Amino acid sequence: MSRIESSPSSLQPAAIDTEQAASPRSSQASRAPVPAPAMTVEVFRGPESVARENLVVTGPRSGPRSGAGNGFDFAIGGMFPPRPMGNLAEQTKQMGLTVTQSQAAAASRVMGDSAIVDAYARTHLKGLDASPPIPGAPTSLTDYTSSIPGVPPRVAYEYFVRNPAAVFESADIVLRPATATLRDGARLFLEEKGIPPVWAPITVRLEPEANTVHITTLDGHPLRGTNRFLFEDDGQGGTRLRQYSAFQGSSPATSVGMALMDPIERQHAIWRSVHGHLHDTLRER
């Protein structure tokens, strides 16, 4: 990584658009303006893209993917590390749900794929509300980008939507309940093994006409956040994948996690794997 001085840009802290899923371009942090030097942005430089011929997608490839040649980059802005937001009652509620869901994740890791686990997950998800970033509160922002040369945006979007299990398995994440295809309004847990294991609940909104997938966290997720995936035409018959991420801590558990491990680097690793899987799988077909 390197640090660069940036003029005001899409990574400025900003108010969160909870309906459209926050993007650094549309978000502005609620801080009183004060004279300050240009904002510092930390940028990761991935390997350069390599042009190749168009290939047809026929199905998923499971497991970790390297993403070599996809030009993966990310830049961060806003407030880092993320801090818990919300009043005491709200943070207490979120922490209680995080603990409960962590216990369920531990049981799921023991039981494995099970109709009982999936049934419990479906029932529990029904009682959770959306938990996006609180508008006006300090927010952490990340803009991820990568390329999929020779693969049209519609093909890449459809693969993501129709093969979510393979996409997230690339980052060692299991979907609960088992999910074959993402549907608009779907609710699911992203199960991650670890100490402790985590059930991170999300809801999905699809914009097929714009080749866009929105993900918003639900109650009990360690972070209050949104992710917006845009599959854009790169002007050369391929896809440029832009992912806008905005998040805050949801409870004191966030601060504990920051002290015991490095969840932000893990988050970067997850999305690096997802971008890599999309590139490698679609280019090989």
Q: What is the pTM of this model?
A: 0.76
pLDDT score recorded for residue 252? 82
Range of the structural domain that residue 174 is part of:
75-284
Q: Which residue do the tokens 């060692």 mark?
A: 172
In a domain? residue 153: yes
Q: Report how far apart, in Å, the C-alpha atoms of 227 and of each of 14, 203, 212, 259 are.
A: 15, 11, 10, 24
Query: What span, in angstroms and rounded, lies between the C-alpha atoms of 46 and 67?
Result: 10
In a domain? residue 209: yes
Nearest alpha-carbon partner for 150 in 56, 40, 217: 56
CB 49 within 8 A of CB 149: yes
CB 242 within 8 A of CB 120: no
In a domain? residue 59: no
Query: What span, in angstroms and rounded, lies between the C-alpha atoms of 213 and 231?
Result: 9
Tokens of residue 223, six digits = 């972070």
pLDDT score recorded for residue 78? 92
In a domain? residue 60: no
Nearest alpha-carbon partner for 230 in 20, 42, 77, 79: 20
Query: What span, in angstroms and rounded, lies between the C-alpha atoms of 141 and 31?
Result: 15
Residue 185, classified by CB atoms within 10 Å of its CB into exposed (0-12), middle (13-18) or buried (19+), is exposed
In a domain? residue 44: no
Residue type at 130 in one-letter notation = A
In a domain? residue 150: yes
CB 14 within 8 A of CB 24: yes
Domain count, the chain: 1
Q: What angle do CA 196, 197, 199 make, to 5 degrees?
A: 130
- pLDDT by position in tens, the chain (length 285): 433 333 333 333 344 443 443 333 333 444 444 443 333 333 333 333 333 333 333 334 434 456 668 999 999 999 888 889 999 999 999 999 999 998 989 888 888 888 999 999 999 999 999 999 999 999 999 999 999 999 999 999 999 999 999 999 999 999 999 999 999 999 999 998 877 788 999 999 999 999 999 999 999 999 999 999 999 999 999 999 999 999 999 988 777 666 656 677 888 999 999 999 999 999 876
CB 218 within 8 A of CB 128: yes
In a domain? residue 66: no
In angstroms and rounded to an integer, the radius of gyration of the C-alpha atoms of the chain is: 18
CB 236 within 8 A of CB 149: yes
* Beta-carbon contacts of residue 123 (< 8 Å; ≥ 6 apart): none
Query: What span, in angstroms and rounded, lies between the C-alpha atoms of 87 and 103?
Result: 25
CB 5 within 8 A of CB 40: yes
Q: CATH number of the domain at 92, please.
A: 3.30.530.20
**How many Cβ atoms from other residues are within 10 Å of residue 182's Cβ?**
20
In a domain? residue 46: no
